[in-house]
Amino acid sequence: MPTRTTGETSGSSGVALDIDRRDLAWYVDKAVAGLVFVAGISAIIFIIGIFVFITREGIGFLTSAFDFKEFFGSPAWRPTSERKATYGALALIAGTASVTGLAMIVSVPFSLGAAIFIGEFATGKTREALKILVELLAAIPSVVWGFIGLSIMNPLIIETFDVPIGLNILNSGIILGLMAAPIMTTIAEDALKAVPDSYREAAEALGATRWQVTRRVVIPAAKNGLVAAVLLGVGRGFGETMAVLMASGHSVNMPTSVFDSVRALTATIAAELGETAMGSDHYRALFTLGILLFVVTFVINLTADLVVRGIRKR
């Protein structure tokens, strides 16, 4: 049994009794509070740690071999050249941007459509089954997606469009779109659910149909959440590595059509980092790509977060 400090020694009132207690429950409370605090701020510690780490590894390149004009203006990524190593990342940036862009064109209509159906139209078992299936889609490992791109989509694209090779923006864009869709659907559906039912009831009372309620009332009210869902989907696509590495063709190339092979920033790091000597210019240049990726995803996520905040304030 825990013992309690009584008022006899301190001689104070009942309020002071509670302040003075130092029993097991009190210690447990303090310990748990401390633990939860550490867990809570650990995300911040990790993110700062990661940023410090990649900056430290990449900074040597930024201050020595880095040439701003070459990095952002030249497509010539030739880090192991025998003549002159060049670190032009333009083609890699264009590759990532084009694949992510196409992925969004593919997935935004599907995801928002799915979210609206699940949130506003489906009922009962259909709704539950759909939610589970969408979440299951998110659980497919990216290497499996890459495999689908390589062995199913590649011959399909060659046959359908009569192009020389099926490992291209179209292939990886579709794969990436399918990968980003579940996260976008889930977040968009949450945003729709956050719209109070009283809005819908009021609109229905005025004689609006289901679609009119959705289009004129629910979607405008959930707008910020939907934008945030799309942005997080973009972030997901931007950072994806394995599937893009396998399905994009991994070719340093400035794309001019969706049938061109490209190479993504993430895939370049994945393919090359394991094979470079630590501390070499090539190694540091890859970390510089990492800094670029980190900054872009950070900005996307921050924007998404601020947009969601916008909703709550109102």
Partner 1 sequence: MMTRIIPFVVVIAVACGGGANAARTLIQNKGSDTLVNVAQAWAEAYGVLRPDVAIAVSGGGSGTGISAMINGTVDIANASRQMRESELEAARTNGNDPVEFVVGYDALAIFLHPDNPVTEMSIDQLAGIYGDGGTIETWSQLGVSVPGCASDEIIRVSRQNNSGTYAYFRASVLGDNDFKLGSRDMHGSKDVVDLVENTPCAIGYSGLAYATEHTSMPCLVSADGGCVAPTVATAIARTYPIARPLFMYTAGQPTGAIREYLDWVLSADGQCIILELGYAPATSAECA
The answer to whether 252 and 263 are in contact (CB under 8 A) is yes
Q: Is the Cβ of residue 155 or residue 196 nearer to partner 1 in the bound state?
A: 155
Q: Which two tokens stand for residue 158?
A: 């060659």
- Contacts (CB under 8 A) with partner 1, residues 6-65: none
DSSP 129: H
Contact call for residue 251 and partner 1 (CB under 8 A):
yes
Q: At its nearest, how many Å lie between partner 1 and the CB of residue 4?
A: 53
Question: Closest approach of Cβ 19 to partner 1, in Å?
Answer: 52
Question: Of 78 and 193, which has the nearer Cβ to partner 1?
Answer: 78
Q: Is 55 or 280 the residue whose CB approaches partner 1 more closely?
A: 280
Q: Measured between alpha carbons, how far is 154 from 243 in angstroms, rounded to an integer? A: 13
Q: Which is nearer to partner 1, 139 or 278 (CB)?
A: 278
Count Cβ neighbours within 10 Å for each residue of 253-287 and write b for 16 or more, e otherwise. bebeebbbbbbbbbbbbbebeeebeeeebbbbbbb
Indicate the residue among 60 and 249 with the shorter CB distance to partner 1.
249
Binding of partner 1 by 276 (CB under 8 A): yes
Q: Does 83 bind partner 1 (CB under 8 A)?
A: yes
Q: Give the residue with the Cβ less far from partner 1, 84 or 314.
A: 84
Q: Is 277 in the site for partner 1 (CB under 8 A)?
A: yes
Measure Cα distances from 173 to 19, 65, 158, 176, 186 in Å: 61, 33, 16, 5, 20
CA distance 119 to 186: 10
- Minimum Å gap between C-beta 154 and partner 1 is 7
Q: How far is the CB of 183 from partner 1 (least distance, A)?
A: 27
Of 144-183, which residues contact partner 1 (CB under 8 A)? Answer: 154-155, 158, 162-165, 167
Structure tokens at 290: 């990492």
Tell me whether residue 75 is exposed, middle or buried, using C-beta atoms within 10 angstroms of its C-beta: 0 to 12, 13 to 18, 19 or more: middle
Residue selected from 173, 177, 249, 290 as contacting partner 1 according to rule CB under 8 A = 249
Residue 107 and residue 232: Cα distance in Å, rounded?
A: 12
Nearer to partner 1, 92 or 231 (CB): 92
If binding is defined by CB under 8 A, does position 204 make contact with partner 1?
Answer: no
As given in the structure block, the two tokens for residue 13 are 């009132």
Question: Is the dihedral angle over the CA atoms 29, 35, 41, 43 positive or is it negative?
Answer: negative
* Footprint on this chain of partner 1 (rule: CB under 8 A): 75-83, 91, 154-155, 158, 162-165, 167, 245, 249-253, 261, 263, 271-272, 274-278, 280
